[in-house]
Structure 1
Amino acid sequence: MARLEDSLTIGDLTLRNRLYRAPLLECAGNGPDAVEQLIADLEPGAASGAGLLCQGATIVRGEGGCAAPGMTRVHDPEFVAGLANLTDRIHDHGARIAIQLEYGGLRSMETWHAGYRADHPGLSQLAVSKPPWQLRALDRLGVVSYDPDVMTTEQVYALAADFGRSAGYAVDAGYDAIHLAGANMGIIQQFLSPFYNRRDDEFGGTLRNRTRFLELVHDEIRRRAGDVPILTKVPAETAAPRAIQRHLTLEDGVDIAARLDVVGFDAIVPVVTSTFWDMSIVRGEYPERAWADEGFQDGYTEAFGSRYRARAVALLNRLQARRFDFEPGWNEAFCRRVRERVDVPVLAEGGIREREQIGRLLGANGTGPACDAVGMARPFYAEPRLPARLLDADPDSRVLCESCNNCTVPQATGAPGVCRTPEILRRHGELQKEGAYERSE
Structure 2
Amino acid sequence: MSPRITDPFEIGGLSVPNRLYRAPLLECAGNGPDAVDTLIRELEPAAEAGAGLLFQGATIVRGEGGCAAPGMTRVHDPEFVSRLGKLTDAIDDHGSRIFVQLEHGGLRSMETWHAGYRAENPDLEQLAVSRPPGLLRMADRLGVLDYDPHVLSIEEVYELAADFGRAAERCVGAGYDGVHIAGANMGIVQQFLSPFYNRRDDEFGGSLTNRVRFLAAIHDEIRERAGDVPLVTKVPAETASPPVVRRHLSEHDAVEICRACEAMGYDAVVPVRGSVFWDMSLVRGEHPERAWADDRFRAGYEAAFGARWRAVALANRIHAAGFEFEPAWNADLCERVREAVSIPVLCEGGIRGPEIGDVLGSAADAVGMGRPFYAEPRLPARVLAGESVVCENCNNCTVPQVAGARGVCRTPSVLAKRGQLAREGAYTN
1:327 correspondence with 2:317: no
- C-alpha distance in 1, partners of 2:326/2:419? 27
Alignment deviations for residues 177-201 of structure 1 (CA, whole Å, 9 cap, x no partner): 1000000000000000000000011
The residue type equivalent to 1:361 in the other structure is: V
1:415 correspondence with 2:405: yes
Counterpart of 1:121? 122
Counterpart of 2:75? 74
- C-alpha distance in 2, partners of 1:281/1:55? 18
Counterpart of 1:339? 338
Secondary structure at 1:280 match in 2: helix
1:371 correspondence with 2:364: yes
Alignment deviations for residues 102-128 of structure 1 (CA, whole Å, 9 cap, x no partner): 000000000000000000011121000
1:242 correspondence with 2:243: yes
Counterpart of 2:428? 438
The residue type equivalent to 1:378 in the other structure is: R
- C-alpha distance in 1, partners of 2:306/2:19? 43
- C-alpha distance in 2, partners of 1:78/1:224? 18
The residue type equivalent to 2:10 in the other structure is: T
- C-alpha distance in 2, partners of 1:342/1:79? 37
Secondary structure at 2:223 match in 1: helix
1:198 correspondence with 2:199: yes
1:146 correspondence with 2:136: no
- C-alpha distance in 2, partners of 1:313/1:328? 27
User: 1:276 offset after TM fit, Å?
Assistant: 0.5
The residue type equivalent to 2:358 in the other structure is: R
Counterpart of 1:215? 216
1:19 correspondence with 2:9: no
Counterpart of 2:357? 359
- C-alpha distance in 2, partners of 1:243/1:321? 18
Secondary structure at 1:234 match in 2: strand
User: 1:390 offset after TM fit, Å?
Assistant: 1.0
Counterpart of 2:384? 391
- C-alpha distance in 2, partners of 1:302/1:212? 37
- C-alpha distance in 2, partners of 1:391/1:282? 23
- C-alpha distance in 1, partners of 2:280/2:260? 28
The residue type equivalent to 1:414 in the other structure is: G
User: 1:305 offset after TM fit, Å?
Assistant: 1.3
Counterpart of 1:33? 34
- C-alpha distance in 2, partners of 1:138/1:101? 28
- C-alpha distance in 1, partners of 2:324/2:385? 30
- C-alpha distance in 2, partners of 1:228/1:409? 34
Unaligned runs of 5+ in 2: none
Alignment deviations for residues 340-365 of structure 1 (CA, whole Å, 9 cap, x no partner): 000000000000112x30001011xx
- C-alpha distance in 2, partners of 1:116/1:284? 29
User: 1:413 offset after TM fit, Å?
Assistant: 0.6
Secondary structure at 2:321 match in 1: helix
- 1:159-178 correspondence runs (5 A): 159-178=160-179
Equivalenced residue count is 428
User: 1:175 offset after TM fit, Å?
Assistant: 0.2
The residue type equivalent to 1:437 in the other structure is: Y
- C-alpha distance in 2, partners of 1:296/1:277? 20
- C-alpha distance in 1, partners of 2:50/2:155? 44
The residue type equivalent to 2:281 in the other structure is: S
- C-alpha distance in 2, partners of 1:272/1:386? 25
- 1:306-321 correspondence runs (5 A): 306=307, 309-321=308-320
Alignment deviations for residues 355-405 of structure 1 (CA, whole Å, 9 cap, x no partner): x30001011xxxxx2100000000000000000001133xxx310001100
- C-alpha distance in 2, partners of 1:320/1:29? 30
- C-alpha distance in 1, partners of 2:282/2:136? 19
Alignment deviations for residues 252-293 of structure 1 (CA, whole Å, 9 cap, x no partner): 000000111111100000000100011111101000100000
- C-alpha distance in 1, partners of 2:382/2:184? 29
The residue type equivalent to 1:249 in the other structure is: S
Secondary structure at 1:57 match in 2: strand
User: 1:325 offset after TM fit, Å?
Assistant: 1.0
Alignment deviations for residues 311-345 of structure 1 (CA, whole Å, 9 cap, x no partner): 00000110111111111111011100000000000
The residue type equivalent to 2:95 in the other structure is: G
Counterpart of 1:366? none
CA contact (8 A) 1:236 1:252 kept: yes
TM-score (norm 1): 0.97
Secondary structure at 1:97 match in 2: strand
Alignment deviations for residues 9-28 of structure 1 (CA, whole Å, 9 cap, x no partner): 00121000000000000110
Q: Give the aligned CA root-mean-square deviation in angstroms.
A: 0.5
1:380 correspondence with 2:373: yes
Secondary structure at 1:149 match in 2: strand
The residue type equivalent to 1:423 in the other structure is: S
Secondary structure at 2:127 match in 1: strand
Counterpart of 1:295? 296
CA contact (8 A) 1:124 1:146 kept: no
The residue type equivalent to 1:343 in the other structure is: S
User: 1:82 offset after TM fit, Å?
Assistant: 0.4
The residue type equivalent to 1:362 in the other structure is: L
- C-alpha distance in 1, partners of 2:134/2:304? 24
- C-alpha distance in 2, partners of 1:215/1:331? 24
The residue type equivalent to 1:405 in the other structure is: N
Secondary structure at 1:238 match in 2: coil
TM-score (norm 2): 0.99
- C-alpha distance in 1, partners of 2:255/2:129? 22
The residue type equivalent to 1:358 in the other structure is: I
- C-alpha distance in 1, partners of 2:280/2:15? 33
